[in-house]
């Protein structure tokens, strides 16, 4: 009969297998094309993935954009419209910026465009954010939706500020249920208008210095998003799955490979962890220190006494963006 240790090891092996084969993680390698064509990045001002800091005459802003997967747009245009806003809001606040506005582009039939715009409108109401402009082309072929955001930032949260020894905090909204047709956990359905102040916790932590870097958990899943956060310096961490914030009733492998509407990874200086946890818990958001950043380049997962490597950055980059800024 298999003992508890053997069961934990088998479960962890299956989780690692699912994570390694996750399409959302594997697709991030395509971002390397940006570096091939546009050249070097300093990992803060771009060009690169998600948002980048742009200096202005009076300060700095974060600019970002998101294109939605066309089959998702065709299947659920309202959901895709909502997700277009959500993804941009998460990208902006993950860099420590206050979101200012959304611009969208829609190429679709009238019915699909209307549903997508209604989804965007609902999301902007929840996040207290205006849609300030965009472009609409009526088209009866395959639909396309993109959205772009701007945010105001002081000291940005940047992966270039990560150092070994910092705590890794995972914060997530675990209210609600997983969608059955798409790997998406829509906690906003339960949190409603609380969403606006939920996301504004991150800019507040950036201003206080309690957090130095962050990444939203996106379609790459938790491990993939974590690898993207750590790849600039080839850092590593062992994630304790026993303390990882997660919704009840959702399998660990499913949670690690989904896109949660509110899920963030934060690099926190030693001694500031409780401050960060309190900021989220005060809003009834789940948060925990799940590990400590090191210089191994390996992302490990631990459950009980069982441990396994889920991603090795010393062997394979995630985005393949150039590292000349390091």
Rounded CA gap, 57 and 36, in Å? 30
For 305, phi and psi rounded to 5 degrees? -90, -5
Write the pLDDT tens digit of every residue in 10-45.
Answer: 889 999 999 888 888 877 777 777 777 877 777 777
Q: What percent of the chain has pLDDT over 90?
A: 77
Secondary structure (DSSP) of 122-174:
HHHHHTT--EEEEEEEE-SSS-EEEEEEEEEESS---GGG--TT-EEEEEE--
pLDDT exceeds 90 at position 4: no
For 171, phi and psi rounded to 5 degrees? -120, 135
For residue 17 the two structure tokens come to: 């297998």
| Whether 213 contacts 231, CB under 8 Å | no
Write the pLDDT tens digit of every residue in 196-246.
Answer: 999 999 999 999 999 999 999 999 999 999 999 999 899 999 999 999 999
Rounded CA gap, 38 and 51, in Å? 16
Write the pLDDT tens digit of every residue in 102-145.
Answer: 999 999 999 999 999 999 999 999 999 999 999 999 999 999 99
Rounded CA gap, 112 and 117, in Å? 9
pLDDT band (50, 70, 90) for residue 146: very high
pLDDT exceeds 90 at position 251: yes
Q: Give the count of beta carbons closer than 10 Å to the beta carbon of residue 319.
A: 21
Rounded CA gap, 166 and 245, in Å? 19
Average of per-residue pLDDT across 300-320: 91
Write the pLDDT tens digit of every residue in 149-206.
Answer: 999 999 999 999 999 999 999 999 999 999 988 889 999 999 999 999 999 999 999 9
Best CA proximity match to 146, nearest among 34, 69, 45: 69
| Average pLDDT, rounded, for the chain | 92
For 62, phi and psi rounded to 5 degrees? -105, 130
Task: Give the model's pLDDT for residue 253.
Answer: 96
Rounded CA gap, 197 and 15, in Å? 33
């Amino acid at each position: 009969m298999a003992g508890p240790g053997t069961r934990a090891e088998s479960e962890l092996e299956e989780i690692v297998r699912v994570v390694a084969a996750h399409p959302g993680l594997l697709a991030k390698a395509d971002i390397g094309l940006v570096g091939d064509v546009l050249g070097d990045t300093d990992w803060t001002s771009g060009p690169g993935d998600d948002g980048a800091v742009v200096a202005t005459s009076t300060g700095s802003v974060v600019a970002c954009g998101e294109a939605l997967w066309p089959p998702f747009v065709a299947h659920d245009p309202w959901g895709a419209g909502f997700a277009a806003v959500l993804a941009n809001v998460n990208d902006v606040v993950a860099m420590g910026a206050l979101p200012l506005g959304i611009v969208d582009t829609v190429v679709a039939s009238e019915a699909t465009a209307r549903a997508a715009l209604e989804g965007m409108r609902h999301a902007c109401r929840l996040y207290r954010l205006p849609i300030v402009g965009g472009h609409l082309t009526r088209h009866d072929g395959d639909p396309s939706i993109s959205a772009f955001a701007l945010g105001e930032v002081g000291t940005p949260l940047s992966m270039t500020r990560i150092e070994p020894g910092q705590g890794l905090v995972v914060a997530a909204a675990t209210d609600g249920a997983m969608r059955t047709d798409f790997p998406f956990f829509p906690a906003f359905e339960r949190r409603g208008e609380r969403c606006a102040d939920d996301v504004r916790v991150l800019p507040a932590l950036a201003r206080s210095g309690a957090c130095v870097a962050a990444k939203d958990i996106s379609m790459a899943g938790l491990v993939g998003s974590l690898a993207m956060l750590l790849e600039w310096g080839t850092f590593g961490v062992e994630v304790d799955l026993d303390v990882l914030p997660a919704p009840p009733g959702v399998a660990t492998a499913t949670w690690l490979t989904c896109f949660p509407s509110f899920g963030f990874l934060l690099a926190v200086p030693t001694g500031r962890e409780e401050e960060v946890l309190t900021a989220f818990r005060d809003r009834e958001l789940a948060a925990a220190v799940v590990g400590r950043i090191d210089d191994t380049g390996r992302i490990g997962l631990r459950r009980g006494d069982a441990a396994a490597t889920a991603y090795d950055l010393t062997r394979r980059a995630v985005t393949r963006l150039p590292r000349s800024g390091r």
